[in-house]
Chain A
């Protein structure tokens, strides 16, 4: 395999010729992008850069860059994402103590044991995942009824994961009995579930709020919907977990992240280099008019309440802040797909 040498930015001083660098794209001055690594930062010119990998490059992306210094600016010739580090490799590298947020899997031997159990007992596990479950829409309630009817006889019952927003339009806070109306939405859901007593008794529900649902608004992670609104639902349905956005589940050895986030529009808005092979996206990136669709910024603040942010604050910012990480946008079975890019730091 061909090996390349990565030059630290500090080492660029006084050197000539094409170099390969690894760094994070930052905006030190407004409107001017820099490449930064632990040693130094340097202004970059991305206009001539050829994008070699899939995905989006945005501010705060970690990138591999090939370029040379021209008048104190790093003129980028080629740019791409660094290699992906798999979960297995990452866990082996940094150990479980730093990775298992649940604190439930102390050793790698324990993890292997869980993987074994997962193969033997976990195959029946099923998650039914719905997003934008507008409870103020009677059509949605009818569909939910059909859904529960369909899964009522399943053994074991699947886990129902509903994501917000839970109403297309919430009553305004000054509107008379606005809160009562919202409580009514969740009571309606409870009533639909209670038509199927086994699901109400044994079924597990996870409700992940959207940004417009009641409670603390546009911050991430967003706390759960306040208990005040869901008291009726929780009293009628036995296992309702009001989750935060984002939240994570553990299923035997597996970790599943659930989030209600409009990621694709953000990536499209924020990309600095036109993505490869998607002319429609290129035109969106070049043309401001193309960004109007979701121009309104709906994710503002990162709420660093969780201890996990401390170990890797950078990563939290990379995905969920204004600045989005590299993602992969591919055509898959004629569908446009997004997946999260590599997470190496």
Chain B
């Protein structure tokens, strides 16, 4: 359940000890949506995005006031 080997394709971490972020580390997408209760931040994650011509994940930050 908790192992990270082999590395997964994506890791979604709700981590309120830091800001929202999205980072691709080698081939693993790691993202934190931020806290929804403070300013309505959330993430839209698409695991398959072909717009660049190759298969990769896409992540957008969004917010509801």
Contacts and interface: CB of A to CB of B under 8 A. Distances in A.
Nearest to B40: A143
A194 interface: no
A50 interface: no
A94 B11 contact: no
B47 to A, nearest CB: 5
A264 B15 contact: yes
A90 B27 CA distance: 12
A254 B14 contact: no
A266 B31 CA distance: 17
A128 B14 contact: no
A158 B44 CA distance: 9
A259 B12 CA distance: 6
Contact of A262 (B16, B28, B38): B16
Contact of A125 (B21, B27, B46): B46
A343 interface: yes
Interface centre among B2, B12, B13, B64 (most CB of A within 10 A): B2
Interface in B1-41: 1-28, 30-38, 40
B48 A140 contact: no
A90 B6 contact: yes
Interface residues of B, number: 49
B20 to A, nearest CB: 7
A338 B23 contact: yes
A316 B3 CA distance: 5
Nearest to A328: B25
B13 A263 contact: yes
Contacts of A248: 1, 8
Nearest to B31: A129
A253 B21 CA distance: 24
B62 to A, nearest CB: 8
Interface centre among B18, B30, B37 (most CB of A within 10 A): B37
A187 B42 CA distance: 22
Given A127-B47, A131-B36, A86 B1 contact: no
A253 B33 CA distance: 23
Interface in A111-164: 115, 118-119, 122-123, 125-134, 137, 139-140, 143, 146-147, 150, 158, 161, 163-164
Given A127-B44, A143-B36, A208-B14, A316 B2 contact: yes
A122 B33 contact: no
B55 A118 contact: yes
16 contacts: A126-B44, A163-B14, A164-B14, A208-B14, A252-B47, A257-B8, A268-B17, A306-B2, A332-B23, A337-B22, A337-B30, A339-B23, A339-B25, A339-B28, A340-B25, A340-B28
Interface of B: 1-28, 30-38, 40, 42-50, 55, 64
